[in-house]
Amino acid sequence: MRSLVRVSTLWGKKTGIRYSGRSFWPEVVVLSLLLTACGSEAPKQAEQKPAAPPVPEEFQAAAEVLLGSETQVLLFGDLAKNGKQEILAANVVPNTPKSVVAGTVVTRAIVAENDNGKWVELMRADEYLKNQNGFLGLTPLQAVAGWKLQYEMSAEKGMSLYFTPVRKGENEKTLPIAVRWNPATKRYQSLDLSYEHFLGEAATLERPRATLR
């Protein structure tokens, strides 16, 4: 009770209004409401993700030359962290069905590099995974109709791609095949299942392709 009277008295002195007797109760209520209003925070607006930058016409045109008109550029820029402009483009299957494996279903995908004004294909995923030197390690022996594609960017290692074969009637979870730029060989290569060591390529699919490089 004394603390309430003291608050009321201080408020009255500050405003030049005097209170006496039992008339301090309405003023205490008003003061409490004012303090509550000052201490409350306004509701935060939902954070909006920044819109993806538009794909430069040059990059889109290069993707369409390499994969056809129904091509989407998924990533572009210095993807390998080697100072050169690259694109990741794909023929994306619309309305990707739900699956135990996350990602976007594509029938074909490429990584291409701008080499002094000329776009050069560095890596391709169609029925198989390939680069300029042959079939990538861990590529399935049986042709694949499509891939579940996931990708991520690292400031240190650049772009990492993860390809999971899509087969009809197959619901089991399959480990994705990781592909990344190898600075030592200066090309995109697959990695072993630990994602630590690059694998060599094979000229054909008739022999093991898990040679560590």
Q: Is the confidence at residue 49, as pLDDT, over 80?
A: no
pTM of the shown model? 0.71
Residues 162 and 116 in one domain: yes
Residues 151 and 177 in one domain: yes
Of 206 and 2, the structure prediction assigns the larger pLDDT to 206
Residues 15 and 64 in one domain: no
Give the residue-averaged pLDDT of 168-189: 86
**pLDDT for res 56:** 94
Give the residue-averaged pLDDT of 46-70: 85
Residues 24 and 91 in one domain: no
- Does residue 84 form part of some domain? yes
- Does residue 90 form part of some domain? yes
Of 179 and 26, the structure prediction assigns the larger pLDDT to 179
Domain range enclosing 13: 2-39
- Does residue 179 form part of some domain? yes
Give the residue-averaged pLDDT of 53-57: 91
Domain total for the chain? 2
- Does residue 199 form part of some domain? no
Residues 27 and 71 in one domain: no
Rounded to whole angstroms, how far apart are CA atoms 133 and 71? 25
Residues 18 and 105 in one domain: no
Q: Is the confidence at residue 10, as pLDDT, over 60?
A: no
- Does residue 52 form part of some domain? no
Confidence label for 25 from pLDDT (cuts 50, 70 and 90):
very low
Residues 26 and 90 in one domain: no
Confidence label for 22 from pLDDT (cuts 50, 70 and 90):
very low
Q: For the segment 188-200, what is each residue's pLDDT rounded down to a tens digit?
A: 999 999 999 999 9
- Does residue 46 form part of some domain? no
**pLDDT for res 53:** 81
Residues 65 and 166 in one domain: yes
- Does residue 154 form part of some domain? yes
Q: Is the confidence at residue 159, as pLDDT, over 70?
A: yes
Residues 22 and 75 in one domain: no
Residues 154 and 102 in one domain: yes
Q: Which of 119-123, 151-155, 166-170 has the lowest mean pLDDT?
A: 166-170
Percent with pLDDT over 90 in the chain: 62
**pLDDT for res 205:** 86
